[in-house]
């Protein structure tokens, strides 16, 4: 009888152990995953190392970008930050006699107005084609013999397309 009682108790314990309460979540759970990517705005400025001017004819110097990747709300603006006088001329100084100079007026269009000191040369967006702008240097006229040199400094920067500017597109 003891064996039957022990066997019945074991069956009861095993049966109770096999019946485990199951809890099922009937609600819906969701979570968001943010996916992103950031690409920095970039450009490569293309400026000639030198432009050789002439006494008798105008000369063209080309500036621009060799590549551009900016957002739709940005543009690359190129300006001359130094080397242009208030009258829009680049001043060339004789290397042997610094008191001897000559000038060439710089323009954005052939026969156009002189380039303003700190003037914007060009602006480019992702849609710009070509990525170049010309600078027109007037003929020097009659210049005494010598080796003359001048310098213009350019600055290119990324600005908002909402900023008013000049030319180049």
Residue 68 in domain: yes
Could you give the 3-state DSSP secondary structure of residue 123?
A: strand
When mean pLDDT is compared over 4-13, 16-25, 54-63, 111-120, the highest value belongs to 54-63
Residue 138 in domain: yes
Structural contact between residues 78 and 125, judged by C-beta atoms closer than 8 angstroms: no
Q: What is the residue range of 79's domain?
A: 42-160
Q: What is the CATH number of the domain that holds 102?
A: 2.60.40
- pLDDT on residue 106: 96
Residue 4 in domain: no
Q: H/E element holding 124?
A: strand 120-124
Residue 169 has pLDDT above 50, yes or no: no
Residue 6 has pLDDT above 90, yes or no: no
Q: What is the pTM of this model?
A: 0.74
Report the C-alpha gap between 67 and 53 in whole angstroms. Answer: 28
In this prediction, residue 112 has a pLDDT band, given cuts at 50, 70 and 90, of: very high
In this prediction, residue 77 has a pLDDT band, given cuts at 50, 70 and 90, of: very high
- pLDDT on residue 5: 54
Tokens 């022990």 found at: 6
Average pLDDT over residues 127-132: 93
Higher pLDDT, 9 or 141: 141
Residue 102 in domain: yes
Domains in the chain, number: 1
| 16-28 per-position pLDDT tens digit | 555 555 556 678 8
Residue 46 in domain: yes
Backbone phi and psi for residue 159, each to the nearest 5 degrees, phi listed first: -130, 170
Report the C-alpha gap between 154 and 79 in whole angstroms. Answer: 6
């Amino acid at each position: 009888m003891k064996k039957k009682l022990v066997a019945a108790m074991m069956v009861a314990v095993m049966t109770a152990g096999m019946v485990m309460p199951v809890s099922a979540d009937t609600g819906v759970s969701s979570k968001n995953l943010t996916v992103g990517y950031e690409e920095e705005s970039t450009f490569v400025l293309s400026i000639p190392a030198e432009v050789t001017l002439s006494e008798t004819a105008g000369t063209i110097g080309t500036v621009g970008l060799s590549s551009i990747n900016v957002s739709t709300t940005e543009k690359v603006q190129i300006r001359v930050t130094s080397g242009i006088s208030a009258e829009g001329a680049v001043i060339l100084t004789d290397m042997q006699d610094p008191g001897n100079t000559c000038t060439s007026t710089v323009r954005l269009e052939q026969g156009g107005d002189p380039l303003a000191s700190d003037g914007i040369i060009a602006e480019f967006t992702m849609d710009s084609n070509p990525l170049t702008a010309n600078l027109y240097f007037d003929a020097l006229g009659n210049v005494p013999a010598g080796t003359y040199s001048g310098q213009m400094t350019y600055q290119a920067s990324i600005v908002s397309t909402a900023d008013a500017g000049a030319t180049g597109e």
